[in-house]
Amino acid sequence: MKEGICRLTMQWCKYFGNFRNEELEAEVLNFLRPHPKLENLTISYYGGLEFPSWLGILSYVNMVHLRLHACCRAKALASLGQLSSLKEFYIESLYTIRIVGSEFYGTKSPFPSLMTLEFKNMPSWEDWSHCFNNEEVRVLFTCLKHMVIRDCPMLIGRLPSQLSSLKKLEINSCPQLNFRGCNEGVLKSLVNLTSLIALVIQDVVELTYLNYGFISSLVKLENLEMKSCKNLMYLWQERDVIRNLACLKSLDVKSEIASISTERGVNRLDRRGVFKTRVASQNGYVGVIDIIKYPRLGVESLAEIPVDRLQSLKEIEITDCENLRSLPQGLHTLSHLTSLCLRGCSVLELECFPPLPPSIKTFWLEDCPKIKSLPNQLHRLMSLEDLQIRDCESITRFPDGGLPPQLQRLRVIRCKNMKQLVREWLTPLTSLCIDGSAGGVGEEEDLLLPLPPSLLQFLWIKGCGILEERCRKGTGCYWPLIREIPQVALGDDPIKSIT
């Protein structure tokens, strides 16, 4: 083939019906041997049973990128491990490959420069063999930094164990991978991931938890993502394992599961729960946790969460925990906490809401009908900017001392027993929602509107017939008071502004 070509794509027609000639296609590809200076090669929709012998020979010392795509009849890979300069290798939609092994490596020390390796959509791939000439060897991927295994539903065997340089590992839609037990299967081999920064595991049915030996090697892990692992019971076995995850910044676990917890016996969730956690870390401490969307949740207590180890915690969000009866203790000690959101905690009963730290900026309570009060020292939360109370029927008024002076956004919605007059809500707000479904709101004696238009940027009035009428554009007696506010909404649509 012509000398001087550095980048080459060989692509067959995608649709041949039943007229493909496997021998002819193999002969054509063998004839189209590129020049040894080739650096980047893609082969797509090739229909031969074998790849040509030239593909893996040592003479291609300049090849750094190789992609094999939709070669759906090829039954084996060439000896590609001998490509000494190869840095990126993508294998996708090779439907008839069953075993990847010695023919793939070609040598006991394959892929000396490989940094990215991806296997995708390999429906017949069953085994990744680590034998060379019938002898099991520890294949070293000394430079490999990113490995992806996705949509390989029949893959059962182990992954390579010597991945000391690996920074990102993604395992997605490989339901047969054997993760059972502490001392067998995939996790047994993956014990030397000391450079790993990101780990993504998705749709691995056999995964029930991450064993201690595996977790303890992840000393540099920053991002852990686990999704749709339906038999996931808990994340790790020991409470103290979090100390090994000193660099962890993001933890995202989403799954339709039988039950789940961060450790044995703690925070157990019932079927069809979705557990999502984001964690940010500073100086070795966890920094952000979200617990989101637990339909029919079985969690009853979060009191055992060791918040003393989470001193950089910034955000907590707990949603749809229908059986939750207690919150973590010591919330007021979390000096970096800026946001607390509770939604759909229908049996969480709090006579006195626990104190919050001065750092809190956002505080939302939604659909928590048994919470009877806000924190007593609410007016001393000098950083609080955003307060929302929605569908909290047991809250009747703000605590003594009123609202904090720095509050900017206030929404009280469908709190039918709220008796405090609107004029007592007002601080130098930038955003205010007045909802007539809050008890007493909008009654005749409460229809004074001493608003500071120079500060208020958004006003939403709903369910207050008399007040809405008085605010009508051009005709209402309150119109001169509100016409300078950039956005004023009347009725159910907060987007439709009359100003």
Over residues 235-263, the mean pLDDT reads: 60
> Can you list the alpha helix ranges (DSSP code H) found in 204-338?
212-216
Please, what CATH class does the domain formed by 284-407 belong to? alpha beta
Band of pLDDT at residue 188, cut at 50, 70 and 90: low
Kindly report, residue by residue over 406-461, the tens digit of the pLDDT: 888 888 888 888 877 666 666 678 888 877 666 555 554 444 555 555 578 888 88
Residue 384: predicted pLDDT: 94
Query: Taking all residues of the chain, what is their mean pLDDT, rounded to a whole number?
Result: 77
- The DSSP call for residue 224 is E
Alpha-carbon distance 231 to 204, whole Å? 9
Q: Which two tokens stand for residue 79?
A: 């000896």
Kindly report, residue by residue over 8-51, the tens digit of the pLDDT: 999 998 876 677 888 899 899 988 888 888 999 999 999 999 99
Residue 16: predicted pLDDT: 66
| Triad 444, 459, 340: Cα angle to 5° | 105
Over residues 482-487, the mean pLDDT reads: 86
Lowest model confidence (mean pLDDT) among 239-253, 260-274, 318-332, 469-483:
260-274
CB atoms within 10 A of CB 78: 20
Alpha-carbon distance 22 to 132, whole Å? 29
Band of pLDDT at residue 320, cut at 50, 70 and 90: confident
CB atoms within 10 A of CB 63: 24
Residue 19 contacts by C-beta under 8 Å, 6 or more apart in sequence?
none
Whole-number Cα distances in Å, 298 to 260, 275, 303, 323? 10, 12, 15, 6
Residue 180: predicted pLDDT: 42
Which amino acid is located at 355 in the chain?
P
481 or 134, which is more confident: 481
314 or 278, which is more confident: 314
Lowest model confidence (mean pLDDT) among 110-124, 202-216, 391-405:
202-216
User: Whole-prediction pTM value?
Assistant: 0.62
3-class SS of residue 479: helix
Alpha-carbon distance 104 to 102, whole Å? 5
Kindly report, residue by residue over 191-234, the tens digit of the pLDDT: 578 899 998 888 877 777 777 777 878 888 888 887 777 777 66
Alpha-carbon distance 380 to 433, whole Å? 22
Q: Which residues pair with 336 in a beta bridge?
A: none
